[in-house]
Amino acid sequence: MIGNVCVFNWRYGSPELRRLFTVENIVKNYIRVEVALLKALGEAGIAPSQCFLEVEKCANEIDPMEIYRREAVIGHDIAALSFILGEKCGECGKYVHLGATSYDIVDTAWALILRDALNIIRRKLKNVIEKTGKLALEHADTYVIGRTHGQHALPITFGFKFANYVYEFSRSYERLVELEKRLVRLKMSGSVGTMASWGDKGFLIEEHVGRELCLEPHQITTQVAPRDGFAELAAALAILASQLDRLALEVRELSRTEISEVYEAVERVGSSVMPHKRNPVTAERISGLAKVARSLVAAALENIVLMHERDLTNSSSERVVIPHILLTVDQMLEDTIKLLSVIRIDEEKARFNLDLTRGAVYSELVVAKLVEKGWARHEAYMKVKKIVENLHGEDLVEAILRDPDLSSYFTEGELRSTLNPEYATRNTKKLIERALNYAQRTVSEASPSKCSN
In terms of DSSP bridges, do strands 343-345 and 262-264 run parallel, antiparallel, or are they unpaired? antiparallel
| Number of neighbours of residue 445 by Cβ within 10 angstroms | 9
Is the backbone of residue 148 left (phi > 0), alpha (psi -120 to 50) or beta?
Answer: beta
d(CA 64, CA 80) in angstroms, rounded, equals: 11
Sign of CA dihedral 37, 38, 39, 44: positive
d(CA 423, CA 29) in angstroms, rounded, equals: 59
List 82, 97, 139, 149, catalytic entry: 149
What are the pLDDT digits (tens) for 146-175? 999 999 999 999 999 999 999 999 999 999
* Predicted local confidence at residue 374, as pLDDT: 96
List 49, 76, 271, 295, catalytic entry: 271
Q: Would you say the pTM of this structure is higher than 0.85?
A: yes
Instruction: Spell out the residues 6+ positions from residue 261 whose beta carbon is closer than 8 angstroms to its own.
Output: 144, 254, 345, 346, 349, 350, 353
Length of the chain: 453
What are the pLDDT digits (tens) for 27-80? 999 999 999 999 999 999 999 999 999 999 999 999 999 999 999 999 999 999
Residues of the chain short of pLDDT 50, as ranges, are 1, 272
Provide the 3-class DSSP secondary structure of residue 266.
coil
Q: Does the active-site annotation cover 14?
A: no
Angle at alpha carbon of residue 191, lines to 190 and 193, rounded to 5°: 65
* Predicted local confidence at residue 411, as pLDDT: 95
Domains in the chain, CATH or no CATH each: 15-95 (1.10.275.10), 102-144+152-350 (1.20.200.10), 360-418 (1.10.40.30)
Angle at alpha carbon of residue 348, lines to 153 and 133, rounded to 5°: 70
Beta strands in 70-218 (DSSP E): 143-148, 151-157
| Number of neighbours of residue 52 by Cβ within 10 angstroms | 24
Phi, psi of 98 (to 5 degrees): -65, 120
The two counts, helices (H) then strands (E), for the chain are 18, 4
Residues 85, 34: contact at Cβ < 8 Å?
Answer: yes
d(CA 96, CA 130) in angstroms, rounded, equals: 47
* Predicted local confidence at residue 272, as pLDDT: 47
| Number of neighbours of residue 48 by Cβ within 10 angstroms | 15
DSSP string, 268-283: ----SS-TT----HHH
Alpha helices in 343-427 (DSSP H): 347-354, 363-372, 377-388, 396-402, 412-418, 421-424
Residues 327, 21: contact at Cβ < 8 Å?
Answer: yes
Q: Does the active-site annotation cover 417?
A: no
